[in-house]
Structure formats: structure tokens, C-alpha cells
Chain A
Amino acid sequence: MLAFNQKAEEVKQKKRIRDFIKNYGNVVIFLFIWLAGMIFVKNFATLSNNLGILSQAAIPAISCLGMTFVLMTGGIDLSVGYTLGFCSYMFGLFAYKMGIPVIAALLLTMVIGALCGLLNGLLVQIVKIPAFIVTLGTGYIIFGIAQIISNGSAITNLSDSILAIGRAQFLGLPSMVYIAIVVVIVAWFILHKSTFGRSLTSVGLNVAASKLSGIKTGFVTVGAYVICGICSSLAAVLMAARVNNCVPTMGGSEFTFRVITAAILGGASLSGGVGTAWGSVLGVLTIYSIENCLGLLGVNYYMYTALLSIIILIAIIFENLKNRILQ
């Protein structure tokens, strides 16, 4: 009897450790990077540097939350970078060239982002083409349209009232950080507290079973892509304000790559059904902490891409091995 109890205790202990790794692996990675930075990198732990990381991470975090919705359905969106470039140019066109009030221009841009997402979602859901092929194709289509509309030019020197949307300072942080925080809260609520979020998890885990239990799987899948598009367009507006430049080549595949890896580092699964809002934010912060450390260490600028992707590869391998051990 005693042996049995001991065994049960052991199993429980193991389960507890497993659950911990499963739920908080992303926290461990982030703390590890952050502590390593604090100990080994000079000037990393200063307040101003960390506030800097926060404002750098704000825009990708918004896109990453959108990506989390799509990953939850078991899909992927490789077009976010191009949607970002397209939307940033359209925002410049609306707000600067046409002189539409900033808020109206923002809303119009978000409608365009939603349409891009709707296109992806409909192709994935109705035509049933694998998500990464659809979004690879639409990425180029969106980029092509953006290039045709912009004719290869950029819109720069935006007026101060337009720039204020991302740059207005409040308590030492630019407004985009506060916008990002609002988006995080909204995304957290939708993902974890609403029926839509629960349907999303269910669709990601098992489409057939969800359908049988009365979930409108089509609506949920398309909705996830639309949300992703809206997030990308919001990120585009803030990015345009941040760099004072609206140009179709702004996001590209590199931005997409960062957003996806941040979501994976944050604990979202590529096979769907798993993902949290706070985890994705943590993933973005991890990536930007790494980049910040490399910058402070004076690593050659061209080493960034290579080093970052090697670290990401290690993280993905770790993630996969972890999942296999847990199973």
C-alpha cells in the first residue's frame, strides 16, 4: 500500500513537472534570456533600455497576436508582412495624399486589412487549399497590388498629427505601446473568455468533432484570418507612424518570419489548438531581448539574421522535442 502511494505520488510529481514545462516553458526561455542579458551584457538592465525593448516589440506584438488566432485554427499566414506593407502605403495614401482625418484613415486601412484576411480565409475554408500555399500566393498578389498602386514610390514626411498616432509620448512610452496593451487585452478576452475563442481551440484540435458539436467551423476559421488581417493593418499604421515612411516593401517575408517564430516561442503550436495571448507577447519580447543583447554586444549588423534564425531553429527543435516527450 505504501509502495502504491509512493508510486502515485511520483506520477503526480511527474505530471506536475510536465504541466509546468507545458504551460510555462515560454516564461523559462524569456527569463533565461533576460537574466543572461542582465548578467553578461552591459547596459541591458537599465530602465531606458527595457522601455526601448517594449516600444520595439509593440508593433510585432500586435501582428503576432493576429497570427496566434490563425495558428490556433491549425493554419498559418505567410502574407502578414506583405499585408503590412500594403496597408502602410494605403494609410499614407488616405491620411496624407487624400487628407482624410487620421481616425477615418485608420478605420479604412483596417477594412483593407480585414479584406486581405477575408481573401485568405475564404480560399482556405472554401477552396480547401493548404493555408501556407494560399498565403504564399496571396502574399505575392497583395505585394503586386501594393507595388502597382504605389508605382514603386514611398510616402514620407507625414504631418505631425498623423505621426502622433504612434509617437505621442505618455509616461515615457510612445502611444503605440499603450495601443498594443489594449490589443493584448482584447485578444486575451476573445481567445480565453469568449465563445469564439473556445470554438477556435476546438476547431484547431479537431475540426470534424467541432462540426458535429454544432460549431460553425467555417465562420471560426475565416474569422481568425480576418482578425489576423486587421491586426496586421493596425501594425502597419503604427509602423508607418514610427518610421515616418509608407512603402510596400516595409514588412516582407522577414517580418512574417519574426511574427511566426515569436508565436511559436510563445508556446503556440503549428498543429493548432494551442496558444495564449500572453505567451505570444512573451515570444515577441524574447526575440527583441535577444536582438537588443546582440546590438549592445556590438555584434556585426549582418550577423543579426543568421544568429537570430539559428537561435530560433534551436527553439523550434526544443519545442518539438518537448512536445514529443510530453506525449
Chain B
Amino acid sequence: MKNIKFKKKYLFVIAVLAVFVIAGSFIPGYFTFANIMNVTRQSSTTAICALAMTLVLIIKGIDLGTGGVMAFCAMIGGTLMLSGVPVFPAILIGLAVGLLVGILNGILISKIKIPAFIATYVTGQITLGLALVIGQGRSISGMPASYQAIGNNLILGIPINTYIMLIFLIITSVILKYTRMGKHIYGLGGNEKTLQMEGVNVDRVKIFAFALCGLYAALAGILLSAQMNTVHPTQGSTYQLDAVAASVIGGVSMLGGEGKAWMSVFGALIIGFLRNALDMLGIHPYYQNLAIGTAIIIVVGISVYNRNKELETAKVF
């Protein structure tokens, strides 16, 4: 049984790699080092959002407010920089605000028991609104050169963004795999009541997951604005769907309790390389929304179908 599951899991990875190689051999310039590094740089924002999404998907939550948080925190950081605050403290304040929004989400979901997708949707709208207020509906630019460097410079030929993505992949993996909180996160997704009976403070686990999710979203927003050297109030709007799509395509279950950190980064890279290939083939971006929406429904549909089938087999035996 375990063997079959193993095959199923890696069959997908192999299929994706095969498509990647075939696509790459047809498109000139696709397999150059510069292009691959460029895609990892572009995907790093989606990947960090997807890491955040994975944390909350495991506990059967979802974050539909990523876009707002991304814009709001970057907007705060950028405005502080423009008013003379040094780059590093400004970024830290931006991240702290993201953390606070995450904690607010966690409290709304655990203590007041609002469904996650409604609570995060509303806080997303609030933060989006506040980003609009701060920027007066316009984008801000002219941040210091060192800020821009974070998003665009290379170390040893690899973009700084890619390093940051890998660092946070490792941090998230360690939290999920080796800490007690990580085990509680999986337990919460599997069976909340059992975890509660074991004496775990379930609310604290939920708040932790959503707080981390807010922090990551803020980081993604700041990285995105550093890359563009502007902050636009609606800069994050496409990222929440991409983050859900990346996690789900990477193999994180929407039904909770399952999923690993690398899966979301893998999913983000698939989307990144797919978009890149479509761009290089000259296919209009309009088709990309269509493709990603369809991909989500197909992948989630298959996983739900498999889960139901497993439940039925479990009933028979």
C-alpha cells in the first residue's frame, strides 16, 4: 500500500519534469542559466506566499487576504523609507505589521470562530483599503538603492530572492518537521478533537500558523516591491490565487493534515516555468488565468475523488 502511494506521489513529479524537458527543448533560450535564474527570482514571491498558504492549508484553513497584506506591509515599509527611516528597520516594521495582521486573523478564527476564508478575506480587504489610503490610490517609488538591490542583485550568479526563498523553505521545513508546534499543526489538520483531548492549546496552534502566514505574506510583498522598486496598492492581487494554486499543484491537500513545505515551492516553480514558457511562446497572459483556474479545479477534484475513494474502501474493510 505504501509502495503504491510512493509511486503515485513521485509519478507526478516525474511527469512535470518530463513536460518541462520537452517544453524546454522546443523553446530556444529556455534552458539557459540566466532564464532559469530569472524564473526562480520571479517565482520566489509566489513560493513564499505558497509556503504561508501551506501552513494554513495543513490546519484546514486558507488565506484569501494575502494580496492585501502584501500591499499594506510593503506600503508601510516604503513610506517609512521615503520619510528617511533606514532600509533595514523599515523592512522590520513592515514584517511586524504583517505578523500583527496574521495574529488578528488567528484570533478571529480561533477565538471568535469566524470561518477562515471569511476572516482572511475581510482583513485582506481592510489591509488593501489601508494600502490605498497610504498611497492615495497611487504607487510610491524612489526607495533607496540598497532596497532595490535586495530584489535585483546577484550573489555568485544567483539572485538574492532565490536565496531568501530557499532560506525560508528550510526554516518552514524545520518548523513543520522537527518542532513540537509543527507536530501540533499536522495534528490539528488531522483531528482537532483528539489534539484537544491530549491537552494541547488548539487556539494557540491556530494563531501561530496564521501569524507565520501573515509574516510570510509581508515578506513576499516587500520582496516584490524591492524587485520592482515601486509599491502599488494592488500589487498583490494575483498572488492569493497563485499561492493556493502553487500549494495545491505541489501536492498540499485542501482537506487538511497533509502537505510539506517543499511541495509549495515546487508548485510555485511549476507555475513560474509554465508562465515563462507561455510567455516565450507568445501566448497572451489572458490564457494564463484560465489555465491556472482550470488547474486548481482539476487537481483539487482529483485529490477529493481519491480521498472519497479511500474512505469508501476503508468502509468496506
Contact = CB atoms under 8 A, between A and B. Distances in A.
A313 B129 contact: no
Interface in A105-163: 123, 127-130, 132-134, 136-141, 143-145, 147-148, 151-152
A145 B297 contact: no
Contacts of A307: 129
B222 to A, nearest CB: 21
A302 B244 contact: no
Chain A interface size, under 10 / 10 to 19 / 20 to 34 / 35 or more = 35 or more
A302 B113 contact: no
Contacts of B300: 129, 133, 137
Given A302-B132, A309-B126, A316-B118, A139 B113 contact: no
A35 interface: no
A138 B293 contact: yes
Interface string B81-97: 00000000000000000
A309 B131 CA distance: 13
A145 B290 contact: yes
B241 A140 contact: yes
Nearest to A257: B125
Q: Interface residues of A: mostly helix, strand, loop or mixed?
A: helix
B245 to A, nearest CB: 9
Interface stretch (A92-100, A217-225, A283-291, A317-325): A317-325
A302 B112 contact: no
Nearest to A140: B293
B123 interface: yes
B70 to A, nearest CB: 15
Interface residues of B, number: 43
Interface in B96-133: 108, 112-115, 117-119, 121-123, 125-126, 128-130, 132-133
B136 interface: yes
B289 interface: yes
Contacts of A151: 286
B254 interface: yes
A148 B286 contact: yes
Nearest to B113: A320
B295 to A, nearest CB: 8
B301 A129 contact: yes
Contacts of B286: 144, 147-148, 151-152
B175 interface: no
A308 interface: yes
Given A130-B254, A305-B132, A310 B289 contact: no
B140 interface: no
A39 interface: no
B292 interface: yes
A120 B181 CA distance: 37
B308 interface: yes
B289 A317 contact: no
B122 A313 contact: yes
13 contacts: A133-B297, A136-B296, A139-B293, A140-B292, A144-B288, A145-B290, A148-B284, A306-B129, A307-B129, A308-B129, A313-B126, A317-B112, A320-B113
Given A144-B286, A313-B122, A324-B113, 16 more contacts: A127-B301, A127-B305, A129-B300, A132-B117, A137-B294, A137-B297, A140-B296, A143-B293, A148-B284, A302-B137, A305-B125, A306-B132, A309-B125, A313-B108, A316-B114, A317-B114
